[in-house]
């Protein structure tokens, strides 16, 4: 009975730790979206002193949020030159005969890791080859026969509204 109790206790702690880890990961992923918005705000041109002050405040807020992410072992994915499907998500394919297939042209959204796991893939534009020409697939005889209605069968009736 004591061994069963210890096993139950251990499993309960593992379940709780897993739930906390999952909830923390979801929260940190949502914070990345907020950081994206702050980055966009920092791209705005500052033409007045008020805008410069606002820019400074947004920059401090962004830096504080990045500090919080670091405390939870969240780090940006380093910028790589070639596409890695475990770290990147190709959102657009670009044609450039002067570059090799799989080269990253532009990073549209930065990716992040939490420990050794991907928290958010980096969205990238990547060099790719043209898609192969489409090949028309013809149905085989058996499937063509099964799709055709039987000549002796009565046509299907539409359900009437009552």
How far is 79 from 96, CA to CA, in rounded Å? 20
pLDDT in the model for residue 17:
92
Q: DSSP letter string over the chain?
A: -HHHHHHHHHHHHHHHHHHHHHHHHHHHHHHHHHHHHHHHHHTS---SHHHHHHHHHHHHHHHHHHHHHHHTTEEEPP--SB--TTTEEEEEEE--TTS-TTBEEEEEE--EEETTEEEEPEEEEEE-PPPPPP-PPPPPHHHHHHHSPPTTSPPPPPPPP-
| Residue 148: predicted pLDDT | 47
pLDDT of residue 69: 93
Q: What confidence score (pLDDT) does residue 157 get? A: 47
pLDDT along the chain (162 residues), means of 10: 91 94 91 94 92 94 94 88 87 85 88 90 80 45 46 48 46
- Whole-model pTM? 0.65
């Amino acid at each position: 009975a004591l061994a069963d109790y210890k096993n139950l206790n251990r499993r309960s702690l593992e379940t709780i730790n897993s739930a906390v880890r999952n909830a923390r990961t979801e929260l940190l992923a949502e914070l990345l979206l907020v950081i994206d918005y702050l980055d966009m705000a920092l791209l705005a041109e500052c033409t007045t002193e008020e805008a410069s002050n606002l820019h400074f405040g947004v920059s401090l807020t962004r830096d504080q949020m990045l500090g919080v992410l670091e405390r939870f072992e969240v780090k940006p994915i380093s910028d790589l030159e070639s596409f890695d499907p475990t770290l990147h998500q190709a959102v657009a394919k670009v044609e450039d005969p002067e570059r090799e297939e799989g080269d990253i042209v532009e990073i549209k959204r930065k990716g992040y890791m939490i420990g050794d796991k991907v928290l958010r893939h980096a969205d990238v534009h990547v060099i790719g080859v043209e898609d192969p020409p489409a090949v028309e697939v013809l149905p085989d005889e058996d499937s063509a026969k099964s799709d055709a209605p039987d000549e002796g069968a009565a046509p299907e009736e539409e359900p009437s509204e009552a």
